Amino acid sequence: CFTPALLPLYDIGNSIVVVIDIFRATSSICYGIENGAAAIIPVSKVEECAAYHGTDCLLAAERDGEVVAGFDFGNSPFAYTPEKVAGRTVVLTTTNGTHAIQLSRGAKRIVIGSFFNLTALSDWLIKEQENILLVCAGWKNKFNLEDSVFAGAVVARLKDAGYSLDDSSIAALDLYGLASDDLRKYLKKTSHSERLKKLGIEKDIDFCLNVDITRAIPVLEDEKLIKLEP
Ligand code: MLT
């Protein structure tokens, strides 16, 4: 597991990539797909999202934790409820998460992970028996704690299933060991928690740390994230 900046060092064409952005992009994507969104189209740039104005898509744009003016909503999981997204296609751009998805193109498969779908995702990965790369979106190409702790939670399950681990996976696993007793307490010290706290949205942090509240695994098919049919 590693940040997108290191992607060129890996053989992604031979791997399933799991994109991880716990606060909040991949949590919101998992929640939206679970709640019946027909699809979520991840785009890197605000202008690409704006190009869908005038279509029947919902347009979601976030930068530096805030909703970009002129869009329907941003990246809060609370915007991805069944009432808001069921049956709809959402076009989404976020500071790091959607960019990490785009950078992972070329992988055998790209799926989306968060604490919400930890068990469903891990069980599916174990069944697939492929090389797995856990891509932690981080913050502006830098390491962050929450994505790496989640990567460690996945690694813990893969290890139990007999997967061999590289050193970065062992590091993530050790980190998860430090956090797993009380995820909320451990992840309180993250820089993005501080950032979102300043914006008054700590409730999003708390919500994104719910474990196994969804089963859907979003998978990228062409330009759209849809529900994987195992
Ligand atoms: C991102 O993609 O960087 C994030 O999910 C930021 C956020 O909305 O909290």
Residue 4 pLDDT: 74
The sheet with strand 218-221 has its strands ordered as 66-67, 58-63, 89-93, 39-42, 224-227, 218-221, 109-113, 15-20, 131-136
Residue 1 pLDDT: 72
Distances (CA, A) of 199 to 41, 70, 204: 26, 19, 11
Compute the distance from residue 102 Cα to the ligand 1 centre, in Å: 15
Domain harbouring 44, CATH code: 3.90.1560.10
| DSSP codes, 147-173 | HHHHHHHHHHHHHHTT----HHHHHHH
Overall number of domains in the chain? 1
Tell me, yes or no, whether 184 lies in a domain. Answer: yes
Residue 227 lies in a domain: no
Is ipTM strictly over 0.95? no
Mutate which of 3, 19, 21, 43 for ligand 1? The one with the most ligand atoms within 8 Å of its CB, which is: 21
Give me the average pLDDT of each 10-residue run along the chain (230 residues).
77 94 96 98 97 97 94 95 98 95 96 98 96 92 92 96 93 96 91 80 92 98 94
Query: So what's the pLDDT on residue 188?
Result: 86
What is the whole-number distance in angstroms between the Cα of residue 42 and the centre of ligand 1? Answer: 13
Residue 10 confidence (pLDDT) = 86
Residue 134 pLDDT: 96
Burial of 117 (0-12, 13-18, 19+ CB in 10 A): buried
Choose the residue to mutate in 45, 68, 96, 143 for probing ligand 1, maximizing ligand atoms within 8 Å of C-beta. Answer: 96
**Bridge partners of residue 221, in order along the sequence:** 224
Is the CB of 144 inside a 6 Å radius of any atom of ligand 1?
Answer: no
Looking at residue 197, its pLDDT comes to 80
Distance 164 CA to ligand 1 centre (A): 31
Residue 40, C-beta contacts closer than 8 angstroms, at least 6 positions apart: 29, 32, 33, 89, 90, 91, 92, 218, 224, 225
Please state, in angstroms and rounded to a whole number, the distance separating the CA atoms of residues 147 and 159: 18
**What is the per-residue pLDDT for 195?**
82
Residue nearest to atom 8 of ligand 1 (CA): 65
The answer to whether residues 185 and 193 touch, using CB atoms and an 8 Å cutoff, is no
Atom of ligand 1 minimally distant from the CA of 139 = 3
What pLDDT score was predicted for residue 192? Answer: 77
Question: What are residue 97's phi and psi, to 5 degrees?
Answer: -60, -50
Q: What is the pLDDT of residue 194?
A: 80
- Kindly state whether residue 228 falls inside one of the protein's structural domains: no
Residue 111 domain flag: yes
Instruction: Give me the pLDDT at residue 51, please.
Output: 97
* Whether residue 146 has its Cβ less than 6 Å from ligand 1: no
Tell me the CA–centroid distance for residue 28 and ligand 1, in Å.
Answer: 10
Residue 29 falls within a domain, yes or no? Answer: yes
Give pLDDT, residue 18. Answer: 97
Q: Which pLDDT score is estimated for 6?
A: 81
Distance from C-alpha of 121 to C-alpha of 125, rounded to nearest angstrom: 6
Give the domain extent around 190: 4-222
Two tokens, residue 50: 């704006």
Residue 229 in any domain: the answer is no
Answer yes or no: is 106 within a domain: yes
Ligand 1 atom closest to Cα of 24?
Answer: 5
Q: Quick one: pLDDT at residue 167?
A: 92
Task: Give the pLDDT of residue 193.
Answer: 79
- In whole angstroms, what is the distance from residue 90 CA to residue 179 CA? 33
Query: How many CA atoms does the CB half-sphere of 156 hold within 13 Å?
Result: 17
> Do 108 and 76 form a contact (C-beta atoms < 8 A)?
no
